[in-house]
Amino acid sequence: MEGGTKMSVMTMVQAINNAMDIKLAEDSNVVIYGEDVGYEGGVFRVTEGLQQKYGENRVFDSPLAESAIVGTAVGMAIAGLRPIVELQFDGFTYPAFNQIVSHAARMHNRTRGKFKTPMVIRFPYGGGINALEHHSESPEATYGHIPGLKVVIPSTPHDAKGLLISAIESDDTIIFMEPKRIYRAIKQEVSTEKFSIPIGKAKVVTPGTDITVVAYGAMIREVQKAMVMAKEAGISVELIDLRTIYPIDRETIAQSIQKTGRVLTVAESPTSFGVGAEIMAIANEEAFLYLEAPPRRVNGFDTIIPLAKGEHFYMQTPEKIFYEIERTVRF
């Protein structure tokens, strides 16, 4: 117990489960469904035990039909429920793309504010687990580009719980992307009580003076490893965890670049037309006169992420990140 708050060591899977447990207990309008999320507790066991606790009317399995899962959630949300749907993998969100883009994202605007779609679309994303095709995609820029959606990515168990509670309570449609690579790789003390973290606000993880590095999800841990190398080289890195892809926290990013004069972005997605390009635009628009080096990106290649044998050629490593940090600072 810390300061009167009950704490428990949790993985990200446990923290997400705890957030949904709290909201199911608190709000009878919250329902959870998706493929295997009921009896089995989901492909990664994120919803484990919730059907046993809240019953088959609140937590239930769906047919293998992603478009139907999201489409029915739109109807439920309009009718007053707060559905949380799980799509098993990032690449399986594409069959539901039309329902997400054409209906969930547009309903509030289409009805001139008469109907809202308060729903959360959860799915694991990213590479690093040697998975099959469609199991390692990083589509945050795709969904961040669509008006009407908010896109959230946590990087720690604590943030996953606080951000998910905010997402469930939001009246908007939230795309909640969970970095599967660190589902169980990180353990952290997390309050067992209810708390929330604002959507749209980035976090300065580590203050620094020589360069700003903006990352999110599983890449935060890789950047922190690179920062050890940077420190040995005498470079002070300011690390920002974006937490929310859209709406992006322009103010925190701009203030940091104005302080350090340099910026590097790190992500798992393909390089072109990504979140890194948006951050470069912020640097150009908000901090151009402060820049001492060209902004740079560390991303994957503009290709489909390779299968297991070739995946390591695609993924970002601490060595690769440190190389670009040093290259930018020594410019």
Same domain, 17 and 163: yes
Residues annotated catalytic, as ranges: 135
pLDDT digits (tens, 9 = 90+) for 160-179: 999 999 999 999 999 999 99
Q: Which of 191, 211, 245 is the last residue of a domain?
A: 191
Same domain, 123 and 239: no
Q: Which of 159, 191, 223 is the last residue of a domain?
A: 191
Same domain, 122 and 179: yes
Same domain, 187 and 240: no
Within a domain: 198: no
Scanning 87-175, the segments in alpha helix (DSSP H) are: 97-99, 107-110, 140-144, 157-169
Q: Which of 160, 191, 222 is the last residue of a domain?
A: 191
CATH number where 93 lies: 3.40.50.970
H or E element that contains 135: none
Q: What distances in angstroms separate CA 166 from CA 19, 84, 113, 252, 297, one per listed residue? A: 10, 13, 21, 20, 30
What CA–CA distance (Å, rounded) separates 74 from 173? Answer: 9
Same domain, 166 and 214: no
Taking phi first (over 0 means left), then psi (-120 to 50 degrees means alpha), and beta for anything else, what does residue 113 get?
left
Of 318, 315, 322, 323, which Cα lies nearest the Cα of 299?
315
Residue-range definition of the domain harbouring residue 124: 7-191
Read off φ and ψ for residue 237, nearest 5 degrees: -105, 130
Within a domain: 2: no
Same domain, 133 and 207: no
Within a domain: 18: yes
Domain count for the chain, please give it. Answer: 2
CATH number where 272 lies: 3.40.50.920
Same domain, 305 and 228: yes
Stated pTM of the model: 0.96
Within a domain: 271: yes
Q: pLDDT per position in the chain (331 positions), as tens?
A: 445 789 999 999 999 999 999 999 999 999 999 999 999 999 999 999 999 999 999 999 999 999 999 999 999 999 999 999 999 999 999 999 999 999 999 999 999 999 999 999 999 999 888 888 889 999 999 999 999 999 999 999 999 999 999 999 999 999 999 999 999 999 999 999 999 999 999 999 999 999 999 999 999 999 999 999 999 999 999 999 999 999 999 999 999 999 999 999 999 999 999 999 999 999 999 999 999 999 999 999 999 988 988 898 999 999 999 999 999 999 9
Same domain, 58 and 122: yes
Within a domain: 1: no
pLDDT digits (tens, 9 = 90+) for 92-151: 999 999 999 999 999 999 999 999 999 999 999 998 888 888 899 999 999 999 999 999
What CA–CA distance (Å, rounded) separates 268 from 259? Answer: 26
Within a domain: 241: yes
In the numeric block, which tokens belong to residue 4? 């009167």
Same domain, 180 and 223: no
